Amino acid sequence: MIMHILGIETSCDETAAAFLQEKRGHFQLLSNVVSSQAEIHAQYGGVVPEVAARNHIAVVMPVIGEALGGKKPDAIAVTAGPGLITSLLVGVHTAKTLAYLWNVPLIAINHIEGHIYANWLEKQFAVASSRLPVFPAIVLIVSGGHTELILMKGHGNYALLGATRDDAAGECYDKAASILGLGYPGGSAIDKESRSGNPNRFPLPRPMIGSGDFEFSFSGLKTAVLYLVERLKKEKTFDAQVRADICASFQQAVADVLVAKTIAAAKKHHARAILMGGGVVANSALRAMMECTVRAELPVTQLSHPDLRYCTDNAAMIAMAGYFHARKKDFSYFHALDAMPRWQLAR
């Protein structure tokens, strides 16, 4: 049996479609199309929901057409939440219309679950995934809208260990970048600047690092960057090198907190794997530090982070998550499926 799944993702400002083929446990990603609106929203300094929705409407069908390349899917997996309601509606209603026209099943995918399954794209455990000792896994999700630690005991089995009480890690990156004059979205700009910076120059806070739980808080770190920049500007010592040093110090502070809590969760729950997902996982300091710490402290635990292109929003991850639902015939009823902007994957 060969199964072809069309994935559709429109939860924020990326319109994406991907076509995934599964043949006896082997996956082949036939296409992965992402149309980003980042440049459009950069002029506003953040995503404007109405503008995002209008752009999704304009490009969703061409993007899907390109992904399918004239073929027809056996099932359609679509991000139904969480995200911006107006953006989600475009993807969900497009998926419903196509599923109705083609008479194929629909699968509602939680966006966070998509970020988790990005780990199954082009990975060694993509093949015969259920046989490798991946579970229990600790999942660290760090994106523009989410910072969560999840205990995953099996496919579709999630328990929330902790989350941010205020800003998400990516949101903190974007706000710090804006304070530093690096544009929007700022995560990758801070990453780039940090390469020529000294991570030990400015002692920034590591919020909640010793709280003994799996909760996070990032708004204080953003404020610390704001006050630091204001002070240095007043003292007229804010120059390109100082900016690079602030970036590197900031990046280190975020990575320290994320790594410490992830490792603690993995130890507590005897995890066989640590999976990472979300746009912030593209961060080079976070990846390097996690790798080094896992090797030193948890040498038998597998560590997986998606390929860079599957860290930020895409539909390949939605199609992959869709496969694991389709395998269990876990389909959504056509009339019942709607956009769920606050859909929580794990509680």
Residue 143 binds ligand KG4 (CB under 6 A): yes
Q: Which of 274, 302, 320 is nearest to 124 (CA)?
A: 302
* Best CA proximity match to 280, nearest among 257, 243, 308, 304: 308
Compare residues 4 and 41 and give the one whose CB is closer to ligand KG4.
41
Pick one of Zn ion, ligand KG4, none as the site partner of residue 280 (Cβ within 5 to 8 A by kind). ligand KG4
Does 79 interact with ligand KG4 (rule: CB under 6 A)?
A: no
Q: What count of other Cβ atoms lies within 10 Å of the Cβ of residue 131?
A: 9
What x/- string results for residues 90 through 129 when contact with ligand KG4 is judged by CB under 6 A? Answer: ----------------------------------------
* Helix pair 85-102, 49-68: axis angle to 10 deg: 30
Q: Which of 313, 322, 324, 325 binds ligand KG4 (CB under 6 A)?
A: 313
Q: What are the CA-CA distances from residue 3 to residues 27, 133, 319, 323, 330 (Å)?
A: 10, 25, 11, 8, 15
Per CB under 6 A, the list member of 7, 105, 114, 186 interacting with ligand KG4 is: 186
Q: Restricting to residues 6-25, name those near ligand KG4 by CB under 6 A.
A: 12
Q: How many helices (H) and strands (E) does the chain have?
A: 11, 10
Whose Cβ is closer to ligand KG4: residue 94's or residue 283's?
A: 283
Instruction: Report which residue type is found at 266.
Output: A
Q: Give yes or no for residue 148 binding ligand KG4 (CB under 6 A).
A: no
Question: CA 188 → CA 78, 104, 176, 198, 308, distances in Å?
Answer: 27, 39, 12, 17, 11
Minimum CB distance to ligand KG4, residue 193 (Å): 11
- Residue 282 interacts, among ligand KG4, Zn ion, none and using kind-specific CB cut-offs from 5 to 8 Å, with ligand KG4
Which of the ranges 126-134, 187-195, 226-234, 259-267 carries the binding residues for ligand KG4, by CB under 6 A?
Answer: 187-195
Q: Give SS3 for 276.
A: strand
CB contact at 8 A, 130 and 120? no
Q: Which residues bind to ligand KG4, rule: CB under 6 A? A: 12, 143-145, 170, 173-174, 185-188, 191, 278-280, 282-283, 312-313
